[in-house]
Structure 1
Amino acid sequence: MTPTAATVARRRRRRLSGAGAVVRRRLLVAVPVLAATSVGMFLLGAASPIDPAQQYAGAAAFTTSEENLAQIRANWGVDDPLPVQYARWVGNLLRGDLGWSTSRHEPVADVLAARAGWTLLLVGAALALVLAASLLLGTVAAYRRGGWLDRAVRAGAYAVQSMPVFWLGLAAIAVFALALGWLPAGGLTDVTATGTDPADVARHLVLPVTVLAISQAPWFVLFVRDTVAESLRDDHVLAARARGLPGRTVLFGHALRTALLPFLTLVGTHLPELVGGAVLVETVFSLPGLGAVTVQAALGSDFPLLAATTLATTVVVLTANLLTDLAYAAADPRVRLDD
């Protein structure tokens, strides 16, 4: 029986209401998570033995008088009790003041604004590549399970999984940049470039994106392979085969569609590792993203910049998990968002 327009509208309103409830619940969870993250970062910064005043003065700290250093500490309030410092820092954060980067010598907000886009481009391109490749390789390996292709895919996945991402990056530079000369070894543009040409940027991103995607591919490939192999034994897939449907239709139209639902959850839960891999990839390939800046902030004990990048990463991960839940519910109408 075909549902009426009124029934369809009621279902749509119910699902939209359920989506709103999920967003509200996730916001209630996000607040304590972000608060705990900020407290942890603040306590780590307070426990650092490095004097912020001497760090700000740099080489001049060796000749600056103790009175001047004390005045810097007083201006920054670093001698105040920790609760007072934390409350002041949170207040500035809520007003949009992320502080001053001692390692970059510019406002933290400007650092994030200038570099966040490149990190999002790297992570987004790598995620798109790894999803497409893992869906294809995992599905074909499951269809040919036990064969030479299945064994080759699994062996390659296990081998790549044991390789650190920075080793993959250095190996890619040695082979494709230094030995063959096919691609640039690092950077975002050529040294002689006077602007940012999209074609030049795309050429420089080939190696970083590929390395990041390959480093994350084993989890996705093996998951898709196992899930599709299990789906091929489901009753509805066996029934489709019995009806004489082509193998490609059975594989991609029935088995893969069933496997996509848990695959969405894997994407959301695996995003933090993808972001962590981007930090190393940006460092190896000298990309001007947040990853390289985070490493520089950690080495230089740049607390304001390190805290801002950590909070930004936490927000991205929480948002990705929320979008994963919404996408899961959109892909499977049986899932009730208001539960």
Structure 2
Amino acid sequence: MLGYSLRRLLIGSGMLLALSLLTFVLLRLTPGDPIDAYIDPNVPMSPADLAALRTRLGLDQPLPLQYLAWLKQALAGNLGYSIKRFDQPVLDLVLSRVGPTLLLMGSAILIAILGGIAIGVVSAVRRNSLLDVSFSIFALAGISSPAFLSALIGLYVFSVRLRWMPSGGMLTPGANFSIGDLLRHLVLPASLLAIAQAALITRYMRASLLEVLSQDYVRTARAKGVYEFWVITKHALRNALLPVVTLIGSTIGLAIGGAIFIESVFNWPGMGLLLVDAVSARDYPVIMGATLVIGACVIVVNLLTDITYAVIDPRIKVG
């Protein structure tokens, strides 16, 4: 297992390097000159001053040398400084937003896992019933609805019309910190972010459990008089969870994409909002740093998913 994990980490490091290179190239292919993000359009600058600034920032070098210079600093833990916040290191800025994003995504994934598995099990046990049809419609709607649409509808219904939940932010401005206040602000965005993942997990859980319930060992357990509850939970559920575990790992990327929209709509102070603000401001160092950290998180989660899969199914051998 240790050797397998180390090999996966090496592969993940190569993927992270490729991601940084791809992001760097795409940023350079965007319309406009990167130097425009560093200057105030209201302050005139002479061509000599622009050339001096370009030289100081290293933008006069060929693109491969620019990337290698950035990579050397990144490997040393220096991601540069934000363009819009000259005294703010990018690494500190990114790390300050990781906590809120992990809280939002962790809550959403927990809701999606518990809700998706429970609904999928009920749908499989009550196959073709009215309850199963209702849950199938929910899953189809959840898979089909983009995150920004769910966020806007949820904000309008629960915050604007019903006024059950706060309309944005992580805490109430001016109020003392409390867990209850944090949870009030967390429930709605986390639930909306969980919709797509819960819908996918529901569909996979239902299909997987139906397949397992048709196996011979399940029929044998029922023939021996084992209670249906134990047939489902002890004999069928563990094997049915195997493909769902893989799906949970793959939905992390979906959750990150959805978090960008959710954080923007609800003004949640996380990585998604930071990335959107950086793109709007053409803050290239922050975009590179945030993308690198997000990519590293996805790679680590995929590694943990593979290890969990091997632990759940002892038939899986890693070498």
Distance 2:145 2:310 in 1: 35
Deviates more, 1:158-167 or 1:113-122: 158-167
Distance 2:32 2:79 in 1: 20
Which residue of the partner structure matches residue 90 of structure 2?
108
Alignment match of 2:153 (pick from 171, 175, 178): 171
For residue 24 of structure 1, report the CA deviation from its aligned partner. Answer: 1.8
Q: Are the aligned partners of 1:157 and 1:218 in contact in 2 as well (CA < 8 Å)? A: yes
Establish whether residue 162 from structure 1 lines up as the match of residue 117 from structure 2. Answer: no
In percent, how many aligned pairs have the same letter? 38
Distance 2:189 2:102 in 1: 13
Tell me the SS of whatever aligns to 1:100.
coil
Alignment match of 2:128 (pick from 133, 140, 146): 146
For residue 69 of structure 1, report the CA deviation from its aligned partner. Answer: 2.1
Per-residue CA deviations over 1:276-297 (Å, capped at 9, x if unaligned) read 1111111111000000111112
Which residue of the partner structure matches residue 298 of structure 2?
317
Tell me the SS of whatever aligns to 2:39.
helix
Distance 2:109 2:56 in 1: 45
Distance 1:255 1:69 in 2: 68
Establish whether residue 185 from structure 1 lines up as the match of residue 155 from structure 2. Answer: no
Alignment match of 1:331 (pick from 283, 306, 312): 312
Establish whether residue 264 from structure 1 lines up as the match of residue 279 from structure 2. Answer: no
Alignment of 1:244-323 (within 5 A): 244-323=225-304
Q: Are the aligned partners of 2:28 and 2:34 in contact in 1 as well (CA < 8 Å)? A: no
Which residue of the partner structure matches residue 37 of structure 1?
19
Distance 2:177 2:53 in 1: 39
Tell me the SS of whatever aligns to 2:113.
helix
Which residue of the partner structure matches residue 44 of structure 2?
63
Distance 1:50 1:196 in 2: 43
**4+ residue segments displaced more than 4 Å:** none
For residue 172 of structure 1, report the CA deviation from its aligned partner. Answer: 1.2
What is the root-mean-square deviation in Å for CA atoms of aligned residues?
Answer: 1.4
Q: Give the aligned residue type for 1:169.
A: A
Which residue of the partner structure matches residue 200 of structure 1?
181
Which residue of the partner structure matches residue 5 of structure 1?
none
For residue 31 of structure 1, report the CA deviation from its aligned partner. Answer: 2.7
Q: Are the aligned partners of 1:98 and 1:304 in contact in 2 as well (CA < 8 Å)? A: yes
Deviates more, 1:134-143 or 1:325-334: 325-334
Distance 1:108 1:245 in 2: 59
Which residue of the partner structure matches residue 23 of structure 1?
5
Distance 1:35 1:192 in 2: 42
Unaligned runs of 5+ in 2: none
Distance 1:333 1:215 in 2: 30
Which residue of the partner structure matches residue 213 of structure 1?
194
Q: Are the aligned partners of 2:204 and 2:243 in contact in 1 as well (CA < 8 Å)? A: no
Per-residue CA deviations over 1:101-131 (Å, capped at 9, x if unaligned) read 2244422112112101110111111001100
Q: Are the aligned partners of 2:20 and 2:292 in contact in 1 as well (CA < 8 Å)? A: yes
Distance 1:130 1:316 in 2: 19
For residue 249 of structure 1, report the CA deviation from its aligned partner. Answer: 1.2
Distance 1:103 1:247 in 2: 62
Deviates more, 1:274-283 or 1:64-73: 64-73
Compute the TM-score of the two structures, normalised by the length of structure 1.
0.90
Which residue of the partner structure matches residue 228 of structure 1?
209
Q: Are the aligned partners of 1:50 and 1:301 in contact in 2 as well (CA < 8 Å)? A: no
Q: Are the aligned partners of 1:168 and 1:215 in contact in 2 as well (CA < 8 Å)? A: no
Q: Are the aligned partners of 1:265 and 1:324 in contact in 2 as well (CA < 8 Å)? A: yes
Tell me the SS of whatever aligns to 1:99.
coil
Tell me the SS of whatever aligns to 2:177.
coil
Distance 2:267 2:85 in 1: 16
Unaligned runs of 5+ in 1: 1-18
